[in-house]
Structure 1
Amino acid sequence: MLFDIGGVLELADDGVWQKRFSQSLRARSGLDDETFGARVDAADLPRADIESGVESEYWRRLGDALGFDDDTRAAVSAEFWDSYCGVANAELQAYARALPVHVGRAALSNSMDGAREQEERRFGYSRLVNPICYSHEIGAAKPDPTAYAAALSAMDADASDVLFIDDHQVSIDGAAAAGIRGILHSDNATTIAAIESFLATRS
């Protein structure tokens, strides 16, 4: 089983929290939209979604661009990670944990540098899924074919033996292009039924 994290193993209002966080940033800065956008663009932020070791520099540049002091910068970072990580999808995590020992459990996630440490502290994913392939560590994000290839390599698995669970159709389509069967996660009951069906074909 190859799980997405955000929107699947954890619930974070994907697509909503990002807008709220951006609005919070603008409010903290006190800048009008045009000036805010110009300063963020000029900050030349690192590609923290596909680069490792840049988290501190990302927040430093962003804070400097928006005129934040150290306390505000720390508060902004904490707000970001609380929103990013959301809460555990306890039901699906419990189901994944109870899968038979011969069923591998891995994760492929579009991420931000720092996600491994933040999510491990909150959810202990290393005890649930292994390997965990984060986009900032493998240098590619879904639906880039490189991301799926990296996951298959890390899992030492053939595409035909993997079921991928994600909450974005574009990521499911990218998996299909790599030969990986995928299911679009909308609710736990449907996803669990699909996993059971997949496993039944391999028993």
Structure 2
Amino acid sequence: MKIRNLLAISIGMICMSNLYSQETKTEATTPAAPVEVIDRLNIPGPLTFNENEFLLALSKQNSPTWVQQQYIMRDDDISNYKELINISYFDKEIDMETAIGQKVEFVEKRRSKDKYSFVNVTESPDGKEIIVDYLTTETPKEGESYAEYNLDRFKNFDVGGKKSFIIFSYSKRIAGDLKYASRSLSKERNKLMESAITTTIPPVTYKPTEVEKKKK
């Protein structure tokens, strides 16, 4: 089964983070009210990855069958994060080969303009999970340039005949000189891959909610 816009899932990690920035009141004496994040996947937290703890910072019902949740470290900022975990849960069957093919194609297309980028595909011994890890660089119009290393772990589930699909993603950014940042992240690849392989994907209890309207 081919799926539309699956490529936007990982790219959306960046866009969703930018959209999450909250408006604050102009009066300095009035503290901003805390915003409660709905845990639509009922995942016990905090999450642990590479010996660091990640707290739920965003949860969004993108479609009737797709929920996206993002986690950051306690002192990080989701609008300009250094490390982030993204969990995309699909309450339906997804063709894994199609999903992986789209991701690899996305990175390969960048390579003509992004000389530091690379992409690898690693399959688990039982063939039930696949990890796509890749590095890209960005030079935004505003702010520092940065290199970003990503791990996307794809897994199908079949519980009592009910099929679902999860993409467990980890992202790390280093800002500054792109050559130095890319080399630094490349040196961490083996350690981060080991963490991705040994980390248990958290159990999910899906609680459907109304699809959120896109911000204008």
TM-score bracket relative to the smaller structure: under 0.3
- Structure with bigger helix share is 1
The structure number with the bigger radius of gyration is 1
Higher relative contact order (CA 8 A, sep 6+): 1
- TM-score, normalising length from structure 2? 0.23
- TM-score, normalising length from structure 1? 0.24
